[in-house]
Structure 1
Amino acid sequence: MKMDAFAFGITDWTQVEQTEHKGETGTAYRRTRFFGEKPDQIRVRMVEYTAGYLADHWCKKGHVLFCLDGELETTLEDGRKFVLTAGMSYQLGDNAEAHQSFSRTGAKLFIVD
């Protein structure tokens, strides 16, 4: 991730439009902001997964992901599984390892990519 210069700013996430994205099961609610200029633009998201959410795809994008609340299970393409709870994070680079998200109980996440 390259962070070119952009001005200081504050985000009130309650004022950012929420979009709905259906998973294979459950729903993801996302609030998204972009910072900087393309092609080095940074995407920052506040994401909430409903209980039973399973992503409808395997993601190859790198992320820095912080679990604010709930529980997130991440499965890697090779079958390994990792569980994050509030206060935990994961980091991985673009095209490093495909991953899929699942939340049995629901989760609230802060994601930078």
Structure 2
Amino acid sequence: MKMDAFAFGITNWAEIDRTEHQGETGMAYWRTRYFGNYPNQIRVRWVEYTPGYRADHWCHKGHVLFCMEGELETTLDDGRKFVLTSGMSYQVGDNAEAHQSYSRSGAKLFIVD
């Protein structure tokens, strides 16, 4: 992630429209902002997973992900699994390790990529 210069700003996440993303099971709700210019644009998201959410894909995108609430299980393509709870984070680079998200009880996440 390269963060080119962009102006200081404040985001009130309650004012950002929510989009729905169907998982293999459950739903993900995203509130998304973009900062900077393409191709070095930064995507920042507040994401909510419903209980039972499982992503419908293996993600290759790099992220810095912070679990604000709930529990998130992340499976890597080599079979390793990691569980994040409130106050924990993970980081992974683009095309470093494919990963898939699952949340048994639901989760609220803050993601920068």
Normalising by structure 1, what TM-score? 1.00
Partners of 1:24 and 1:3 lie apart in 2 by 32
- Three-state SS of the structure 1 residue aligned to 2:108 is strand
Matched, 1:58 2:58: yes
Partners of 2:61 and 2:98 lie apart in 1 by 8
- Three-state SS of the structure 2 residue aligned to 1:20 is strand
The residue aligned with 2:23 is: 23
The residue aligned with 1:88 is: 88
Letter in 1 for 2:53: Y
What do the CA deviations read for 1:66-95 (whole angstroms, capped 9, x no partner)?
000000000000000000000000000000
Letter in 1 for 2:94: D
What do the CA deviations read for 1:3-62 (whole angstroms, capped 9, x no partner)?
000000000000001000000000000000000000000000000000000000000000
RMSD of aligned alpha carbons: 0.2
The residue aligned with 2:106 is: 106
Letter in 1 for 2:89: S
Q: Which runs of 4+ in 1 moved over 4 A?
A: none
Partners of 1:80 and 1:6 lie apart in 2 by 37
Number of equivalenced pairs? 113
Partners of 1:22 and 1:60 lie apart in 2 by 18
Normalising by structure 2, what TM-score? 1.00
Partners of 2:54 and 2:92 lie apart in 1 by 20
Give the superposition deviation at 1:107: 0.1
Partners of 1:101 and 1:11 lie apart in 2 by 26
Partners of 2:21 and 2:49 lie apart in 1 by 10
